[in-house]
Structure formats: structure tokens, C-alpha cells
Homo-oligomer: A and B are copies of this chain.
Amino acid sequence: MDLYEYQGKELFRRFGIPVSEGRLATTPHEARAAAVEIGGPVVVKAQVLTGGRGKAGGIKLADTPEEAEQRAGEILGLDIRGHVVRRLWIERASEIAKEYYLSITFDRGAKQPLFMFTAEGGVDIEQVAEDSPEALVRLYVDPLEGFQPYQARRLIYGAGIGDPGEQKQIASILESLYAAFVGCDAMLCEINPLLVTPDGEVKALDSKFTVDDNALYKHPDIAQMRDTAAAAPQEVLAREKDVTYVKLDGSVGILGNGAGLVMSTLDVIALAGGRPANFCDLGGGGDAEGVVDALEVITSDDQVRSIFFNIFGGITRCDEVARGILQALGRMTIEHPIVVRLDGTNAEEGRRILADASPPNLHVEPTMLDAARRAVELAR
């Protein structure tokens, strides 16, 4: 789960990482009030779960509350890479002497948390990594050993930070960042830029904070930070129904079990000349409830013309899925043609169950390729 800048900064603050004072605003009027409370020049920052908002006009300086109100009006409603701005963070403006880059994330390959730190922040950091890799200090932390003070020194001296005041502040920020990373079950905590003000204060000017969905049950306070309104309506419905669903732009609705098989199904649909309407993974479940939920989500997309059920039974038993499909069709009205392919655990029984019932709009195909072709055909 990705957090907004202001949410990440709230977590930073809890763990002792300095951030600028700010207020949330959802209207120009609130932005003005926030600017008044903060006093002095503020920055009006679009809160969107994507990058590039600066270039898109989503960050603006305002010297007065009036100006803050006006800028807020300009930014609210902007579409930034498909994300509509509905929240603003009004923050005390900071003078910038230097900009560093700092992050901690999972290196899934090395299976250890990885700190990355460079004094060459404020520019395209991926470019820094490519052009001058020696300027980007990387340091792994053994999760059993935990964060040790020497690791801060490795990063600080490695990045060439010479000022003792900065060294001390950054050492403390590094320790806090690791604590936040572990304490919030984060997958990523990124500070870009980590700011040094002209009078030597170090603080986080931005935050990218991603929390492990699988650990959200331990963090109800973070879980409720989710902005359900920001997602596509089908995805909101899917989350409510606990269905793994990603909306795409085609006309063949896809329903399968297992992410790999569903991805492969999308590929096969494309090879058969069709375009998938979605990615939808039933996961381990295949009972009527799960099938109904998934079908409701898929058919809520008007672009869908046919539906392809691609099931290979393992933990999911094909007979259960077959019964689930029949029950679902009994409980809801589906106009779309449905192509079903069942293989694996109890597949024969599943196919027999469907054949016995043989609802009018249901087509059972023997192989994945045959089924894909049929679904593409029926979507035309």
C-alpha cells in the first residue's frame, strides 16, 4: 500500500525524522486557512500516488494565504499521470542549500534491506546511479543484526558528507528511518530530497512510503490511511470483495486462478488477436461466493464482451469451481458468453458438472489455446 507524501511524513515524524510543518487541505479555502495557521510563505503540494507532480504543475510556492488559495484552486482537479488531485499538503516553505537522496527498501534478490544514499540529490537519481554509481552509496543491513551506528558512518563517509553537524543529524535520521522501515513493515521509505537548509538543518522534504499489504493487519492506523476513492471504481469494488483485480483496456474479461496463469492467459489472449479487459485472480478460492464476487467485478466494466474462465486445479478443485460457476449463474444474470477451461485437480468431475447443467451461454473448451481463441471470437 502506497502512502501519500503527507501520510509518509506523519510516520516520519512519529519516528523522529524532521519534516516541515504542514496542513492537509481539500479545498482552496482550507488551503488558505492552512497558510494562515502556518504563517509566512508556504508550498502547495498535490498529493498523488505517482511521481512527476512537479513537472505536471502540482507543486507551487505561495507567499501569502491569498496566493495559497489561488494555487490550490489551480492544482486541485489536475490530472497527473491518471491521478486526479483531490488532496493538497500545505507546507511551510524551506530554503534549500543542498539536496541529498536517501532510501531504504527491500532488495528482493539479496534478501536484505538496502540503504541507498547520495549527496547528489535533487536531480534524476536513476541517472546518478547509472552515470556515477560510486556517488550512490549502497549498504545492506542484516535484519537479524539490525541497524548499528557504524552503518550510518559507512553511508555518511561514503557519500562524502564532511560537516559534523550534518553527520550527526543524518546519523540520527538513518537510525530513525530504519526503525520506521521495520516498525511500519515498509517495503520502501524514500526521502528525495533530503534537504539541508542554509543554516544546516537536515530534514525530509518529500516522502515515498510503501507498506507491506500482508502486514497491514498489524498496523490498523496505517491501514486506515488508504484513500479508497483514489482507485478505479472496479478496483474499489474488487477490494471490497477481496478479489485481486486490475483493470485493463480490452474486451475479454479474464478470470483465472494464480497470478502466473492469469498473466499467461493475458498473453495467450493477445496472441489469439484479442485484448484482455482485466487481470483477475481467483487465488485459492473457487467457491460460488468467490466466483460471484469476481464476476460482479468483471462485468461492472462496460467494455467486457466475453469472459474467459481459465482454471487449473491445484489447491483449487475444479469440481468446486464448476459448482461455483453454476451457482453464480443462478444468482446473477450474466448476458456475456463465458468460455470455461478446466484442468487439474478434479477436472473431469468439474467438466461433467458443467456438461450436465450446460447453461446456454457457457462454452467449455479442452485447452487453454482453444479457449482463448473462442473467447476472442465471442468478444468480436
Chain A interface residues (CB < 8 Å from chain B): 144-145
Contacts and interface: CB of A to CB of B under 8 A. Distances in A.
Nearest to A144: B144
Nearest to A145: B144
Contacts of A144: 144-145
A144 B143 CA distance: 9
Question: Interface of chain A, helix or strand or loop or mixed?
Answer: loop
Contacts of A145: 144
A141 to B, nearest CB: 13
A330 to B, nearest CB: 43
- Report the copy number of this chain in the oligomer: 2
Nearest to A143: B144
A144 B145 CA distance: 7
A223 B145 CA distance: 27
A238 to B, nearest CB: 33
2 contacts: A144-B144, A144-B145
Nearest to A146: B144
A288 to B, nearest CB: 35
Closest CB pairs A-B (n = 2): A144-B144, A144-B145
A72 to B, nearest CB: 48
A149 to B, nearest CB: 15
A299 to B, nearest CB: 44
A111 to B, nearest CB: 15
A144 B146 CA distance: 9
A145 B145 CA distance: 10
A78 to B, nearest CB: 47
A144 B144 CA distance: 5
A207 B145 CA distance: 31
A164 B144 CA distance: 33
A47 to B, nearest CB: 37
A95 to B, nearest CB: 39
A183 to B, nearest CB: 15
A223 to B, nearest CB: 23
A61 B144 CA distance: 49
A144 B142 CA distance: 11
A37 to B, nearest CB: 40
